[in-house]
Amino acid sequence: MPEKEELIIDVEGVTKRFGERTVVNDIGLQVKRGEIYGFLGPNGSGKTTFIRMLCGLLKADGGSGTCLGYDIITQSAEIKKHVGYMTQRFSFYEDLSIAENLDFVARMYAVPNRKDAVRQSIEELGLAGREKQLAGQLSGGWKQRLALAACLIHNPNLLLLDEPTAGVDPKARRDFWERIHQLSHKGLTFLITTHYMDEAEQCDRLAYIAYGNLLTNGTVPEVIDQAGITTWSVRGKGLIALAEDIRGKDGIGQAVAFGTSLHVSGTDAAALEKAIAPYRKDGLQWEKIRPGLEDVFIHLMEHSKDNFAKQ
Ligand SMILES: Nc1ncnc2c1ncn2[C@@H]1O[C@H](COP(=O)(O)OP(=O)(O)OP(=O)(O)O)[C@@H](O)[C@H]1O
């Protein structure tokens, strides 16, 4: 049983090097029971590597702490038993049926009352009636459901989901998130990596990492406030030319297209307002807005490049 009931993940200073490169650099993370914790960052920033260290698939070069109350360095075998891990690629036996795949996973985990567990899993995930269908013939959305069913079958306390909705359609993504919320209400804890901002916004808390460094964490409003940026949205004609012209000017941190508008942000509100003043004409509609997560992440990325260069 976990020693610390309230903290399902509690690690400090977790570090991983591959050769000369530090791909996870001194990361600490605390995740409470029942939380849906989002893990965000650009490709190659170290999210998967970090998750693999948490669940005992990869040994950290530095750091300490617990996952489900078990030591991440010395008790990885225990951790594996109580964690469900959904990798980026759903990996099943394509020429086995849904039921056979679930049965296989249940055997691997030595699930008691295996047949009942498989039947229940099929029902809970809405796969009833499709259990004899070959996994290889399933659409992306159904493969994803099967993957979730497979990583829940041994009744884990923590689910580590690595880009679980990559490549599935919007309806399947919505259904998937509904299921995540239902399971978290039952006390299951989630660490989920995603590149989708709408999914990030559904997380109780989130962390953003780039080049192996944890740049920020907290609730969505906290992450936005901590960034300390001011953002103006501008609509009208000639936004591409405007963006090119305005970038790099004093007070302008970034000018980024968002659909039919351009978001112009900076850390010094007064300098930003001064910089945009000459452009507040020609029918352009400027409006000061609360920055969104994407504005914040772009800002963080811009500033994290220097850190990486120093590594
Ligand atoms: N076994 C390995 N040997 C060497 N380098 C590795 C190994 N595994 C990962 N890396 C490197 O570590 C860095 C972090 O990779 P990781 O897969 O953790 O990133 P990520 O944030 O999960 O990326 P993505 O969003 O693309 O999934 C990458 O540069 C990757 O190439």
Question: What's the pLDDT tens digit per position in 272-302?
Answer: 999 999 999 889 999 999 999 999 999 998 8
Residue 41 Cα: closest atom of ligand 1: 21
Whether 260 is in the pocket of ligand 1, judged by its Cβ within 6 Å, is no
Whether 59 is in the pocket of ligand 1, judged by its Cβ within 6 Å, is no
Query: Side by side, which strands form the sheet with 21-32?
Result: 21-32, 7-18, 62-67, 70-71
Q: What is the mean pLDDT of residues 174-196?
A: 94
Higher pLDDT, 87 or 90: 87
Burial 106-143 (b: 16+ CB within 10 A, else e): beebebeebeebbeebbeebebeebbeeebeebeebbb
Residue 88 Cα: closest atom of ligand 1: 27
Average confidence score pLDDT of the chain? 91
CATH number at 7-218: 3.40.50.300
Whether 52 is in the pocket of ligand 1, judged by its Cβ within 6 Å, is no
Whether 144 is in the pocket of ligand 1, judged by its Cβ within 6 Å, is no
Whether 18 is in the pocket of ligand 1, judged by its Cβ within 6 Å, is yes
Contact present, 208 and 297 (Cβ < 8 Å): yes
pLDDT reported for residue 2: 45
For the chain, what are the domain ranges?
A: 7-218, 230-290
Which protein residue's CA is at the shortest distance from atom 28 of ligand 1? 44
pLDDT tens digit string along 115-141?
A: 999 999 999 878 888 889 999 888 888
Distance 59 CA to ligand 1 centre (A): 14
Whether 251 is in the pocket of ligand 1, judged by its Cβ within 6 Å, is no
Residue 42 Cα: closest atom of ligand 1: 25
Residues 278 and 272: their CA atoms lie apart, in Å, by 11
Q: Which residue has the tokens 């609509």?
A: 235
Whether 41 is in the pocket of ligand 1, judged by its Cβ within 6 Å, is yes
Nearest to 191 by CA among 41, 299, 19, 1: 41
Distance 61 CA to ligand 1 centre (A): 15
Lowest mean pLDDT among 60-69, 90-99, 116-125, 289-298: 90-99
Residue 195 Cα: closest atom of ligand 1: 25
Q: What percent of the chain has pLDDT over 90?
A: 80
Q: What is the pTM of this model?
A: 0.91
Contact present, 189 and 34 (Cβ < 8 Å): yes
CA dihedral 165, 167, 170, 173 (to 10 degrees): -20
Residues 209 and 222: their CA atoms lie apart, in Å, by 16
Query: Side by side, which strands form the sheet with 205-210?
Result: 83-86, 158-162, 189-193, 36-40, 205-210, 213-218
Tokens of 278: 């000459």
